[in-house]
Structure 1
Amino acid sequence: MNRPEFQGFTEEALQFLEQVRENDSKTWYEENKPRYEKLLLDPFKQLVSGLAPDLLLIDPLFEVTPSVNKTISRLYRDTRFSKDKSLYRSTMWFTFKRPKADWLEAPSFFFEISPLSFRYGMGYYSANRESMDIFRAKVLANLDVFYKTIQPMSDGDRYEIEGDKYKRSLHPDLPSELKEWIDRKNLYLVHNSTDIQRLFSSVIADELLTGFKQLEPIYHYLCKVEEQKMASSVVNRS
């Protein structure tokens, strides 16, 4: 049976995200679960299924199963280690990433919606200190290659560089635009928008694919960082 094609989200879907957070009740959620499945889960499954073939061309190791806890987030929050004990979140997202068992710190592509905004891009948000140290060394060893790699995402103003930064620059003599990359503890390349009307048609799927392809060179650059780290780990164990 063919899955229906993604046609966009609705205003009601965004309202549901606000309502589930406001009510913050398992009873309310269970009573409204059919709405969640129709308004949010089904469109997310359709969107993931539609994008999957092209994302597998970027990385054939991506997990692309269109289901919760594979590519699609839960609404229910794990509050065990959080000061915020709210049961439900007002955001929902998908990620395309390599399986965690083998690629714990690998970068991933993501798309997230909330009642008043959406965001998408590529995150190296699981990067540990070793990954970022290798990244910094790789960048500084060949700046020409790095600048060529980030050129596609630098065309236009689609993306911002985000991620935790060190309070003091690790390389204070570098140009400010390069320190934006070098001084990060982790790294996100994000397009943020409050133009939620763009969510209400299938055109958002084309926008996501275009945006993800723009980030493909830096994605592969970061994957090589992880591969270098894994190779170094093997050598150290032997």
Structure 2
Amino acid sequence: MFTGFTDETVDFMWGIRFNNERAWFEAHKETYLNHFYRPMQALGAEIYGFIRDKRPDYDLIHKVTRIYRDARRLHGRGPYKESLWFSVEEPSEQWTAKPTFWFELMPESWTYGMGYYLPKALTMAKLRARLDRDPKAMEALSRALGKQEEFRLETEAYKRPKGPAPSPLLEPWYQAKSFVICHEEKLAEDLFSRAIVDRLKRGYEFLLPYYDYFVTLDGDPDPRERECVKTR
């Protein structure tokens, strides 16, 4: 059971930022395991259980990232990450191609939410086709998002507009190449007790209807096939 992160957790994150080398990490490995990795595992397992119980029909898994960076992609950085995160998602060859719940702890702040990082272009085309076909469902979700203060929508838009959205409310979604619905703030007392568990559960429960909406997109018809029929 997760009982909270500790001052040692924060000290380790700052320590690895300024001492990103094998010798320092090995000397502090027990601190990493006991105050960072294992608490993150416990928190991830608890949140995974909560989401799985809410959506038992989904084939969900959860992962905790490794602290070791890919040696092929260091690009002048040290071999260790200074943050850890867990995710809850459906299995996929490319995890960024499906909607994902996450929580991440960093030296200065923490963040959590749900979204896509690298959805397939076809997935977003299916989103636009669904918005055209049935705008009311996402309009309701957009209004609910606008009425609360925990999460904000962040999108990366295509360089070229994808055409007019069915309504102004849907414009950010219609032009999105990728998106996240996220919350980020400075380190707070909640993180050092079980209070963060209750807060994350409330947040993820709010996000579940958005996950329900997006996780089914891959099952929608290919809008390109409809275009082919029109041009015949």
Q: TM-score, normalised by structure 1?
A: 0.84
1:63 matched residue in structure 2: 61
1:26 matched residue in structure 2: 22
- Counterpart pick for 2:100 among 93, 99, 108: 108
1:178 matched residue in structure 2: 170
Distance 1:168 1:126, change over 3 A: closer
Q: 2:67 touches 2:83 (CA, 8 Å); kept in 1?
A: yes
Distance 1:177 1:91, change over 3 A: farther
Q: Identity of paired residues, percent?
A: 27
Partner Cα separation in structure 2 for residue 102 and residue 15 of structure 1 = 33
Question: What secondary structure, in the 3-state scheme, does the structure 1 residue paired with 2:64 have?
Answer: coil
1:8 matched residue in structure 2: 4
- Cα distance, 1:81 vs structure 2: 3.7
Q: Runs of 5+ in structure 2 lacking a partner?
A: 226-232
Higher strand proportion, which one? 2
Distance 1:175 1:148, change over 3 A: closer
Matches within 5 A, 1:1-238: 5-56=1-52, 57-58=54-55, 60-64=58-62, 71-81=63-73, 83-101=75-93, 105-171=97-163, 176-228=168-220
Q: 1:120 touches 1:190 (CA, 8 Å); kept in 2?
A: yes
- Cα distance, 1:228 vs structure 2: 2.4
Q: Deviations over 1:65-98 (max 9, x none)?
A: xxxxxx1011111142453432122211000011
Q: 1:18 touches 1:90 (CA, 8 Å); kept in 2?
A: yes
Q: TM-score, normalised by structure 2?
A: 0.85
| Range 117-126 or range 195-204, more displaced | 195-204
Partner Cα separation in structure 2 for residue 155 and residue 58 of structure 1 = 24
Aligned CA-pair RMSD: 2.4
Q: Deviations over 1:9-63 (max 9, x none)?
A: 1222022112112111112112211110111111112112222222112353111
1:236 matched residue in structure 2: none
For residue 198 of structure 1, what is the amino acid of its counterpart? D
Q: Deviations over 1:103-148 (max 9, x none)?
A: 7721110000111111000021130111111111111221111122
